[in-house]
Amino acid sequence: MPSNKVIAIRESLKSKLQPSEDLVFKEKFTKEKYLEVLYIKTISDEVVLHENVVKPFFETDSPEDFLNYLQSHAQIKAYENEQKAIDDVLRGEAVLFYQDHVFLFDCKVDRNNAVLDTTVETTIQGPQSGFSESLPVNLGLIRHRYPHTSLMVESTEVGRLSKTKVMILHDSKFADPVTVKRIKKFLGEVNIDMLETGEQLFDSLKKSNRALFPLMLVTERPDRVAVNLSNGKVIILVQGSPYAVILPTVMKDLMSSMEDIYQSYWIAKFLQLLRYTAFNVSMILPGLYVAISSYNPEVFRVQLALSIAGSRTGIPYPSFVEVLLMLFMMELLIEASIRLPKAIGPTATTVGGLILGQAAAEAGLASNIMTVIVSFVAISNFVIPINAFSFTIRVLKYFILLLSTLFGLVGVVLGFFMIIAYMVKLDSFGEAFLSALQSKPGKQ
Amino acid sequence: MRLTSKWKLSFNIFLTFMLLSGCGFKDIDKRFFVVSIGVDLAKNSSKKYLVSLKFAVPKTTRESPAEYQIVSEEANSISEAVRIIKTKVDKEIDFSHTKVILLGEELVKRRGNAGVNYWFVRRRDVQSIAWIAVGKPSALAVLKVKPTSEYFPSNALFLALGKDGSETPYVISEFMYDFKFRAIERGIDPVLPIIKAKKDFLEINTVGLFNKSKMLLELQPEETKMLNFFLNREEKSSLWGKKGQTNMIVNTEKVKSKYKIYTPKGKRPYIQFDVSVDGVLEETTKRIANKQLSKYEKVIGKQFSKEALRVLRKIQKAGLDPVGFGLRYRSRHFNDNDWKEWQRIYPTIDFKVHTKVQISDTGLIE
């Protein structure tokens, strides 16, 4: 018979865990033994519980043997306090009451543990699978690619209500301890109710809680995580999200694709050049069009100036309205194609991109050249390998457009300098955003 | 309410920015691009000049032909003419693509029109890299020529004067900045190509040599080619030579000329020209073997030297200095009276030309 202390704990637990449909409390008897089990069946694996606890219970004869069994089992730990026990039960552990002892048995059911294919950061060559939505599986994927004793894994909880389990990984040989400390401190201070995925931390990074540039890299690729670990980065894994956060992040990381190391040297260099060109094109081009065509047409060659002037004849609005109109249309198209069901997606882009552009030009709302520029901007925006960063550029181009509308070519230059100045100011956990080299431990 | 006042301030700053943009914003289709300007002397009028602007009318489709509009106005100054022309066209006149400035033949032959040039230099939207040339019989006549190969107005002129189109030693094109430099600097005189208006095409194969105020001398096409070699502008050309009964023509690939001014004490000063020509034989009246080439090289070299000497003396006689001997002399002599000295030396200076011709090939496989 259980002692009074155990009964008190049992009753207290039962009252704290308000009666719900999936809360299970079972008693099991044999001649000599008496066992009580408390768990939530929707998040606990009953098969595991049966195999590891119930079956041995009936197969063992002496009460001492079973107690020894329980105490030596790897997944069973002793009860510490009530609050912790409640937390664990809510995560899928079972409470075992046996004789004078209370144990917690880890029989969490791990759903969503299928490894997903990469969909955002796709590469032509190299590994094609990403993370799963399960934390232990993700950790396993990383360990698989990074089998080193120096890999440190720590875990913490973030989110006032969600209490999401978060793991911090770094290689103690390469990572800067100061940075690691800063990141841990940051995670401890995050003021958020529900943490569902690492991307939510973007805004928390800045004091004002309003960030424009992503100062952390969110990736779905275990290979990228492994490579970054070896570069001394710190990885944050969030339970339930197939994305890992890589910290600290500089612009170079945001502009790099895993393809850079899977392709041969010159091809990788060419692709990088292409990416930085696309970055500038998609940021500056709309503003440049307004500035050149309305302020400084002497920059064009005379042929182009005349052909733009020709294609703009009969367009009722000034160039910046024309650009805004077309850009707005393009943004709607991009947003719509994300939301649209997969079956309709391609149709919508074709209809929107080709027909709408052509129709706008024919209706005299925009010039032919404008259609070319808008599609150029849209396409080059998608060359940026990290999605979060390409969104930033999508917003930045309006800033340049505004300045160029007001000040012409000077505005474009001014805007570009302002953006660079802002980027220079940014830092990610002590790492300057525009730095080209990763800092090594011991160097400050 | 602290936040509102902050927003109010930023909004006000933004509004001030709007004022700053002012008159700069003008859409490209509201601008009327002047592609070339012609300045002539006004005839039968009390006004001094006849200023003609050639506007490009933008094509709305790719298929429509190149159209232009020439608007002329008589006035006492170019600015005045442009102001009046503004009242005759519907869009804002834009000089940013004005690439050719034509001065009428009569205008450049008359003294005291230097003021015309300054308008182009001072005007901020006329670019200094515009070409400047002499129009014959008048600038307006040249503007009116419409070559059939042209696909936008004045393109034929742009191509002929620039290196984009035909490359020929008979055209010595001149940028406005260089013209201004030559018109001001002591020791170097302006050279302008002369563009002749024909019915359906333009002919550019002569140049006019200027002193500081007007055109004095017109060179013949062959002399123009020589001057071009002295200036080291265009290297692709052909040279003609005759040995006995054999006429031959060399297509040059490289022509380099160097000169040095010698002022030996007690002797007559002279300018030593060294010209080196590389080329291939293009046309002969008789078969020439590879072995014999050196003989023919000498003949052509001699002929070249003779012709060069003649042109140099002709220019010297007119008291002009398009090559810039005076400037070279001034840059090597640091006396206070170097310019006066040069003016004394130049009319009597002697020329010596040495030409080294290298024919690399007969053009045939032997």
Q: pLDDT per residue over B214-232, tens digit each? A: 889 999 999 999 999 999 8
Q: Helix, strand, or coil here: B255?
A: strand
| Average pLDDT estimate for B73-92 | 91
Residue A93 forms beta bridges with which residues?
A106
CATH superfamily of B221-366: Nutrient germinant receptor protein C, domain 3 (3.30.300.210)
All residues of chain A having their beta carbon less than 8 Å from the beta carbon of residue B61 are 310
- The residue of chain A nearest to residue B55, with distances taken between CA atoms, is A306
Q: Helix, strand, or coil here: B85?
A: helix
Would the CB atoms of A305 and B33 count as touching at under 8 Å? yes
pLDDT at position A84? 84
Select from B17, B58, B127 the Cβ nearest to the Cβ of A306.
B58
Rounded to whole angstroms, how far apart are CA atoms B161 and B133?
A: 9
CA A382 to chain centre: 18
What percent of chain B lies above the pLDDT cut of 70?
A: 96
The phi, psi pair for A132, rounded to 5°, reads: -105, -175
Using alpha carbons only, give the angle A297, A299, A303 rounded to the nearest 5 degrees. 75
- The residue of chain A nearest to residue B68, with distances taken between CA atoms, is A306
DSSP 8-state assignment for residue A138: H
Q: Helices A368-381 & A387-407, crossing angle to 10 degrees? A: 140
pLDDT at position B3? 65
All residues of chain B having their beta carbon less than 8 Å from the beta carbon of residue A307 are 58-59
Residues of chain A predicted below pLDDT 70: 1-2, 437-444
pLDDT at position B21? 52
Confidence class of residue B2 from pLDDT cuts 50, 70 and 90?
A: low
Would the CB atoms of B29 and A309 count as touching at under 8 Å? yes
- List the beta strands (DSSP E) in A44-202: 76-78, 93-98, 101-106, 151-158, 164-171
Please tell me the number of Cα atoms within 13 Å of A345 on its side-chain side: 9
Please tell me the number of Cα atoms within 13 Å of B305 on its side-chain side: 18
| Total CB pairs under 8 A between chain A and B | 74
Give whole-number Cα distances, A352 to A282, A359, A395, in Å: 19, 10, 21
Mutate which: A292, A306, A307, A323, vs B, most B CBs within 10 A:
A306
Rounded to whole angstroms, how far apart are CA atoms B235 and B224?
A: 13
- The residue of chain A nearest to residue B126, with distances taken between CA atoms, is A298
Residues of A near B (Cβ–Cβ under 8 Å) read 293-298, 302-303, 305-315, 318-319, 405-408
- The residue of chain B nearest to residue A293, with distances taken between CA atoms, is B28
Select from B31, B99, B125 the Cβ nearest to the Cβ of A302.
B99
pLDDT at position B50? 92
All residues of chain B having their beta carbon less than 8 Å from the beta carbon of residue A308 are 28
Confidence class of residue B20 from pLDDT cuts 50, 70 and 90?
A: low
Mutate which: A288, A406, A407, vs B, most B CBs within 10 A:
A406
In single-letter form, the type of residue at position B307 comes to E
The DSSP annotation for A357-418 comes to HHHHHHTTSS-HHHHHHHHHHHHHHTTSSSHHHHHHHHHHHHHHHHHHHHHTHHHHHHHHHH
Rounded to whole angstroms, how far apart are CA atoms A379 and A330?
A: 11
Q: Residue A240 has which token pair?
A: 């339930």
- The residue of chain B nearest to residue A291, with distances taken between CA atoms, is B25
pLDDT at position A444? 39
Which residues 132-171 of B are in CB contact (within 8 Å) with A?
152, 158
B129, with CB counted inside 10 A (0-12, 13-18, 19+), is: exposed
Q: Helix, strand, or coil here: A199?
A: helix
Would the CB atoms of B97 and A307 count as touching at under 8 Å? no
Q: Residue A228 has which token pair?
A: 């970054």
Does B16 or B137 have the greater pLDDT score? B137
Q: What are the residue boundaries of the structural domains of chain A, listed by start?
A: 4-106, 135-248, 263-428
Asked if A432 and A444 count as a contact pair (C-beta separation under 8 A), the reply is no
Return mean pLDDT, chain B: 87
CA A336 to chain centre: 22
Rounded to whole angstroms, how far apart are CA atoms A406 and B24?
A: 9
Listed in sequence order, the residues at least 6 apart from A412 whose beta carbon sits closer than 8 Å to its beta carbon are: A284, A287, A288, A291, A400, A403, A404
- The residue of chain B nearest to residue A320, with distances taken between CA atoms, is B27
Q: Which residue has the tokens 């590879």?
A: B290
All residues of chain B having their beta carbon less than 8 Å from the beta carbon of residue A293 are 27-28
Q: What are the residue boundaries of the structural domains of chain B, listed by start?
A: 26-218, 221-366
Please tell me the number of Cα atoms within 13 Å of B229 on its side-chain side: 30
If residue A57 lies in a helix (H) or strand (E), which one and from where to where?
helix A55-59
Rounded to whole angstroms, how far apart are CA atoms A316 and A362?
A: 13
Q: How many CB atoms lie within 10 A of CB A354?
A: 12
| Average pLDDT estimate for B42-69 | 84
- List the beta strands (DSSP E) in A160-241: 164-171, 217-219, 234-238
The phi, psi pair for A113, rounded to 5°, reads: -100, 15
Question: What ipTM does the predicted assembly reach?
Answer: 0.79
Q: Helix, strand, or coil here: A35?
A: strand
Question: Is the pLDDT reported for residue B23 higher than 70?
Answer: no
All residues of chain A having their beta carbon less than 8 Å from the beta carbon of residue B35 are 302
